[in-house]
Amino acid sequence: MITSAPVQATLDLANVRDKISAFITVARLKAQGGVTISEFAELAIALLRIVMQTIDEMPQSGVEKKALALDAVAMLFDAVADKCIPTLAYPVWLIVRPAVRSLVLLAADGAIESLLPLVRMSRP
């Protein structure tokens, strides 16, 4: 699984920003040789789960927490999504990238609502 190393990198960290940074750094390293769309989706869901587990008990409002989770996915997209695209398709990617980024963030927004009960159930 492509998410094993990025998830391991976050285990000893308490701060959500540090967790996001460590996850994305390791994900970028794992994706250097390329990444499939399904692997990118796996990374995004794993990052969302980590962020949501960390921020769920924070005192901020739900809107602020959701914005932080979406920012994390946006940072992951910016760091790794280009590795999903074959070199031949890269000129087209430059044109459609902003629309795909918006689509990924919309999907993450919906995923947050379905992941929240799972994250809360998995707490000790």
pTM for the whole thing? 0.87
Q: What is the DSSP letter of 60?
A: S
Buried b (16+ CB within 10 A) or exposed e, 30-60: bbeeebeeebbbbbbbbbbbbbbbbbeeeee
Instruction: Quickly state the pLDDT bin for 5 (edges 50, 70, 90).
Output: confident
pLDDT at 99: 97
AA letter at 123: R
Per domain, the residue ranges of the chain are 4-121
Q: What is the pLDDT of residue 53?
A: 85
* Contact of 120 with 56, CB cutoff 8 Å: yes
Report the C-alpha gap between 96 and 12 in whole angstroms: 37
Q: Does the structure show a pLDDT above 80 at 120?
A: no
pLDDT at 43: 93
pLDDT score of 14 more than 90? no
The arithmetic mean of pLDDT across residues 3-24, rounded, is 87
Residues of the chain with pLDDT > 70: what percent?
A: 96
Average pLDDT of span 89-114: 93
What pLDDT does residue 123 have? 63
Report the alpha-carbon distance of residue 110 to residue 96 in Å, rounded.
Answer: 21
Q: How many angstroms separate the most distant Cα atoms in the chain?
A: 48
